Amino acid sequence: MATILQNLPAGQKVGIAFSGGLDTSAALLWMKRGGAIPYAYTANLGQPDEPDYDEIPRKALQYGAEKARLIDCRLQLAHEG
């Protein structure tokens, strides 16, 4: 079950759904500066307005993610409708 954190756990791993936009970039940097160990996850849902999905995890790493992962969800989304 997912948990929404009320406090930043310094020194612990924290996952964030990372879009690469201003809000999630700022949140990731805030987590890193606050002492957390952020891990970034991006879902490729096949949005036509995203020119380069591979760039998003690289951006997360630049903002301080310990690791960044791009997950291809297109097939599952198509099956779910």
Number of domains in the chain: 1
Q: Is 6 among the domain residues?
A: no
Domain region containing 26: 13-80
Rg for the chain, CA atoms, rounded: 13
Confidence of residue 73 (pLDDT cuts 50, 70, 90): very high
Q: For helices 55-62 and 22-33, what crossing angle results, to 10°?
A: 40
pLDDT tens per residue, range 5-58: 778 899 999 999 999 999 999 999 999 999 999 999 999 998 888 889 999 999
68 domain-assigned: yes
User: Torsion angle of alpha carbons 18, 21, 27, 29, nearest 10°?
Assistant: 100
Q: Looking at the domain assignment, is residue 21 inside a domain?
A: yes
CATH number for 31: 3.40.50.620
Place of tokens 């805030």: 30
Q: Is residue 37 part of a domain?
A: yes
Q: How far is CA 28 from the centre of its chain?
A: 8
Whether residue 2 lies inside any domain: the answer is: no
SS3 74: helix
